[in-house]
A and B are shown apart, each in its own frame.
Chain A
Amino acid sequence: MTDLSLLYEAILKGKSKSAVEITNLALADGAEPKMLIDEYMIKAMGEVGRRFENQEIFVPELLMAGRAMKASLNILQPIMKSSGEKTSIGKIVIGTVKGDLHDIGKNLVASMLEGCGFEVIDIGIDMDSDKFVESVREHNADVLGLSALLTTTMPYMKTVIDAFADAGLRDKVKIIVGGAPVSAGFAAEIGADGYSDTANSAVTTVKELLGIK
């Protein structure tokens, strides 16, 4: 039998090739994809988030872990979909707002959310309000994540939130905001549902907003 703790270790250490190899071996042994995700992979990403929060690891290690997680998910999710299993605990559209080209913070949040069991639709950088509305509607997302690194672009977050109200979608989606200049006070001021200042706390915030324990 495959030692599944090695899958946990491979993701924790960001070893994509090992993660893929162990995932395939585990499936050949008859392991359930959902069990692999819930018991090993999500737990590994939880530990990655904890270490990142405590500055025991930094961005490269987090990106590598996210890449390893994704490599395994790419094998497991099609199998789960074909058997009608639910592959995520919630759907999130995420993007950086218009005028802002920074994507590292957004990518870290996306990677952590994905690693913790959410389906993430990353629509990219420099996105206008219409695109956010269109994407949330198209994917029927539970949560929208808005990112901005510049003081000149953060006011656009309110424009996006207002666009959801105008489209009659504001009560259908939770909106969280983040980025270096963004604060909890600013989030409250513009009517966001949540704010996060780290990739790890974004996961906690989203789970709280969706009532996921």
Chain B
Amino acid sequence: MKLTPYTRLRAMLDGENAGNLDRATNMNILMFFAAYYINAPFGKFCTDYNTLVDANYRCVEKFDIDVLSTMSDPVRETADFGTELEIPEDELPHPKKVLLPNIEDIENLQLFDPLKSVRILDRIKAIERFKKERGDEYPILGWVEGPLAEASDLRGINDALIDIIDEDNEELFDRLLEKCTQEAILCSVAQVEAGAHIIGVGDAACSLINRNLYRDKIVQYEKRIVEAIKGAGGIARLHICGNINHILEDIATAGFDIVDIDWMVDMKKAVSIMEGTGAIINGNIDPVAIVLNGNPDIIREAVIKTRRESGGRACISAGCEIPKFTPHENLLAFAEALYEKI
């Protein structure tokens, strides 16, 4: 039976080794690259779901990508919480100023209904269009910000990272994490109900904190988001940019189905830690040194090496977003190397 991107991923999640499939799964993250590929301004890619959908279609077909993604920028929930954004024509949207300059402002933070929002609703519309036009051919990837990432977007990352260990602010910061979690659950469920197969949880700031903080403060919230995603029938994926070697064992307790790892994480160790948890790894080629600055030969070698290190128990992608100016021949070489028998 010919595999589709969805059945290929499903086989991996059901425990199949990639070596027994037609090729390894290609889960590269395309945002700036996708907009640039169709000559669309990045601001439009972030704010107009039709642009995002069209860019995804063009890229998945050209570069053998196995996922239709709704990833664009980290401030969709932040905006719907009430933060005023600057949306430059061709750069990353960002807050004009943080919504919660004082942690006490948490008292005024209200949850929003994803179906009556602006930016999360735009993402939901992208999911609906993907589902209507492609059904279950490709896994459709919805997205939410994880508790610490969203708290950092609302407070500003420097203040959030101090709040998390400042005894004076501990209780208020816990309340902020709780609210961010509740909103992530609402947004996750709404996206699964709209047709998303996978919900990615982006919790980038977690690579910056120590293991005890991650285990004691964050995992409990991430677990609740995972339970909500799975309860709604979705697949839960975690994405934390940066070095997460020190928290992999705690991540393994959170229940995610797919765990992304960046290039500085040890693939063999990550696969070994996730063994028996039901989770598969996704990663982890260096997006800059290899994918952007390498050439097809270097990329082929890196993909094969990563596949070998994973023992067939990982989806393959760059450790983080594919850089905007990545040469097309490099991404084509990436895709070709997934077919090679190793």
List chain A positions with a Cβ less than 8 A from chain B: 14, 55, 57-61, 63-64, 67, 99, 101, 103-104, 107, 151-152, 180-181, 183
Asked whether, in the complex, the Cβ of B92 is within 8 Å of the Cβ of A101, the reply is yes
Per the bound structure, the CA–CA distance linking A61 and B158 in Å amounts to 11
Chain A residues with Cβ below 8 Å from B175 are: none
Instruction: Write the nearest CB–CB distance from A94 to chain B, whole angstroms.
Output: 14
For B323, the closest partner residue in chain A by CB is A151
Whether A64 touches B210, Cβ cut-off 8 Å, given contacts A152-B323, A183-B289, is no
- Asked if B103 lies at the interface with its beta carbon under 8 angstroms from chain A, I say no
Q: How many residues of B contact A (CB 8 A)?
A: 23
A-B contact pairs, 22 of them (CB 8 A): A55-B246, A57-B210, A58-B208, A59-B161, A59-B208, A60-B164, A60-B210, A60-B213, A61-B210, A63-B161, A64-B162, A101-B94, A103-B158, A104-B158, A104-B161, A104-B208, A151-B288, A151-B292, A151-B324, A152-B32, A152-B323, A181-B323
Asked whether, in the complex, the Cβ of A60 is within 8 Å of the Cβ of B208, the reply is yes
Asked whether, in the complex, the Cβ of B324 is within 8 Å of the Cβ of A152, the reply is yes
- Asked if B232 lies at the interface with its beta carbon under 8 angstroms from chain A, I say no
Chain B residues with Cβ below 8 Å from A103 are: 157-158
- Asked if B104 lies at the interface with its beta carbon under 8 angstroms from chain A, I say no
- Asked if B325 lies at the interface with its beta carbon under 8 angstroms from chain A, I say yes
Asked whether, in the complex, the Cβ of A60 is within 8 Å of the Cβ of B92, the reply is no
Asked whether, in the complex, the Cβ of A60 is within 8 Å of the Cβ of B161, the reply is yes
Per the bound structure, the CA–CA distance linking A68 and B32 in Å amounts to 39
For A104, the closest partner residue in chain B by CB is B157
Instruction: Give 15 new A-B contacts, CB below 8 A, not counting A60-B210, A63-B158, A99-B91.
Output: A57-B210, A58-B209, A59-B209, A60-B208, A60-B209, A61-B210, A63-B161, A101-B92, A104-B158, A104-B161, A104-B208, A151-B288, A151-B323, A152-B32, A181-B323
Asked whether, in the complex, the Cβ of B165 is within 8 Å of the Cβ of A60, the reply is yes
Q: Which residues, 147 to 179 on B, are CB-close (under 8 Å) to A?
A: 157-158, 161-162, 164-166
Instruction: Write the nearest CB–CB distance from A169 to chain B, whole angstroms.
Output: 28
Per the bound structure, the CA–CA distance linking A151 and B323 in Å amounts to 6
Instruction: Write the nearest CB–CB distance from B34 to chain A, whole angstroms.
Output: 14
For A182, the closest partner residue in chain B by CB is B288
- Cβ contacts B292-322/A at 8 Å (1 or 0 each): 1000000000000000000000000000000
Whether A64 touches B323, Cβ cut-off 8 Å, given contacts A58-B209, A104-B157, A104-B208, is no
Asked whether, in the complex, the Cβ of A60 is within 8 Å of the Cβ of B288, the reply is no
Asked whether, in the complex, the Cβ of B292 is within 8 Å of the Cβ of A67, the reply is no
Query: Which of these, A55, A64, A101, A183, contacts B165 with CB under 8 Å?
Result: A64
Closest 7 CB pairs of A and B: A151-B323, A59-B208, A181-B288, A58-B210, A60-B161, A60-B165, A101-B94
For A101, the closest partner residue in chain B by CB is B94
Per the bound structure, the CA–CA distance linking A58 and B165 in Å amounts to 11
Instruction: Write the nearest CB–CB distance from A70 to chain B, whole angstroms.
Output: 12
For B320, the closest partner residue in chain A by CB is A180
Chain B residues with Cβ below 8 Å from A104 are: 157-158, 161, 208
Chain B residues with Cβ below 8 Å from A57 are: 210
Asked whether, in the complex, the Cβ of B288 is within 8 Å of the Cβ of A61, the reply is no
Per the bound structure, the CA–CA distance linking A71 and B157 in Å amounts to 20
Chain A residues with Cβ below 8 Å from B210 are: 57-58, 60-61
Asked whether, in the complex, the Cβ of A151 is within 8 Å of the Cβ of B166, the reply is no
Whether A64 touches B324, Cβ cut-off 8 Å, given contacts A104-B208, A152-B32, is no
Query: Which of these, B91, B94, B162, B246, contacts A60 with CB under 8 Å?
Result: B162
Query: Which of these, A64, A152, A180, contacts B325 with CB under 8 Å?
Result: A152
Chain B residues with Cβ below 8 Å from A101 are: 92, 94
Query: Which of these, A55, A58, A64, A181, contacts B166 with CB under 8 Å?
Result: A64
Chain A residues with Cβ below 8 Å from B157 are: 103-104
Chain B residues with Cβ below 8 Å from A55 are: 246
For A17, the closest partner residue in chain B by CB is B168
